[in-house]
């Protein structure tokens, strides 16, 4: 049985890996100055940062629409027996709803609510690819990834709350207080939604190293098969090498995948955001 695996661009899967595994990525939209641009196709995170730095208003992100899904789902169903599509948590976007509408019309489209975002989704996507290659049915794959999705540990630390404030996800007063106190919050995925965890203080580089040590402290509870290391622009390459080395030092990973945050995360969290995603046992 031929199964096509697809995902929304919020998964931030490296393009080389998507190509290698034959995964189609549906771009979300960033609406800026009245124009809707496709994530990673017509707009990049650096475009967003440059626009805001120049005094421009932060844009909004918009879900993949039903028409976009229909077009590609129909194309893939002409070649594949079934499609398994992964979306950002339905509590954060209409992607899941829109994909289900399109999938119901096309048929044999299985839509998975990842209950996650960013590379937390990619962990599930790669599991689905492996199972499809091993000959598992769509039902078996969906059941397996849905059983494992709540074991994904996805978190990141951010340098400034200004972008969350501009996007309405943080009050101006909270952002001002955090900036005055030089606080860097850790954002965690809990029950399919973003939640603030530990708050760190200091430069983002020092905070990142503390955050990594905290997240990876309980090694016995971690599935060390694979970890994603994801960051937005703004860090020096020297520091990123140090941070990657720290991730590798703290746990004996079978695979460490380096990824870059796309427009969805970058638009909400800004530059100098860094996170990791892995499974808990």
Per-residue pLDDT tens over the stretch 236-259: 999 999 999 999 999 999 999 999
pTM for this model (two decimals):
0.92
Diameter of the chain by CA atoms?
57
Mean pLDDT, residues 59-72: 95
Query: Tens digits of per-residue pLDDT, 166-224?
Result: 444 443 334 434 454 467 888 888 888 888 788 898 999 999 999 999 999 998 999 99
Q: What is the dihedral of CA 177, 180, 184, 190, to 10 degrees?
A: 0
pLDDT in the model for residue 170: 44
CA 210 to chain centre: 22
- Which domains, and CATH codes, for the chain? 3-149 (3.40.50.10170), 151-280 (3.30.1180.10)
CA 136 to chain centre: 25
Query: Of 60 and 151, which is predicted with more confidence?
Result: 151
Calculate mean pLDDT across residues 78-105.
97
Higher pLDDT, 183 or 143: 143
- Of 191, 204, 177, 201, give the one whose Cα is nearest residue 269: 204
Q: Please give the Cα distance from 34 to 51 (Å, whole number).
A: 14
What confidence category does residue 26 fall into, taking pLDDT thresholds of 50, 70 and 90? very high
* Burial of 172 per CB tally in 10 Å (0-12, 13-18, 19+): exposed
Residue with tokens 């494992």: 148
Q: What is the pLDDT of residue 182?
A: 67
Separation of alpha carbons 214 and 226, rounded Å? 18
pLDDT > 90 fraction of the chain, expressed in percent and rounded: 76
CA distances from 184 to 1, 199, 206, 211, 214 (A): 48, 6, 10, 10, 14
Q: Are 121 and 134 in contact (CB under 8 A)?
A: no
Give the CA count within 13 Å in the CB-facing half-sphere of 256.
16
Tokens in use for 47? Answer: 């475009």
């Amino acid at each position: 049985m031929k199964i096509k695996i697809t995902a929304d661009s919020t998964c931030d899967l490296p393009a080389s890996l998507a190509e290698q595994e034959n995964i189609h990525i549906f771009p979300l939209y960033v609406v800026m100055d009245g124009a809707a641009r496709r994530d990673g196709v017509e707009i990049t995170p650096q475009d967003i940062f440059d626009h805001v730095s120049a005094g421009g208003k932060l844009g909004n992100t918009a879900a993949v629409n039903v028409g976009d899904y229909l077009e590609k789902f129909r194309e893939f169903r002409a070649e594949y027996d079934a499609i398994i599509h992964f979306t950002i948590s339905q509590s954060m976007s209409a992607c899941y709803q829109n994909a289900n509408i399109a999938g119901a019309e096309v048929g044999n489209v299985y839509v998975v609510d990842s209950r996650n975002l960013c590379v937390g989704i990619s962990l599930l996507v790669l599991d689905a690819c492996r199972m499809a290659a091993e000959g598992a049915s769509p039902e078996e794959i969906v059941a397996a990834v849905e059983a494992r999705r709540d074991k994904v540990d996805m978190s990141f630390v951010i340098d400034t709350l200004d972008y969350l404030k501009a996007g309405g996800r943080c009050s101006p007063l909270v952002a001002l207080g955090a900036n005055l106190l030089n606080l860097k919050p850790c954002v965690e995925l809990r029950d399919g939604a973003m939640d603030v965890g530990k708050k760190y203080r200091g430069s983002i580089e020092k905070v990142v190293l503390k955050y990594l040590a905290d997240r990876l402290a309980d090694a016995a509870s971690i599935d060390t098969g694979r970890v994603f290391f994801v960051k937005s622009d703004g860090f020096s390459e020297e520091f990123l090498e140090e941070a990657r080395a720290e991730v590798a030092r703290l746990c004996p990973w079978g695979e460490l995948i380096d990824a870059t945050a796309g427009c969805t995360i970058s638009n909400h969290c800004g530059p100098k955001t860094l996170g990791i995603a892995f499974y808990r046992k």
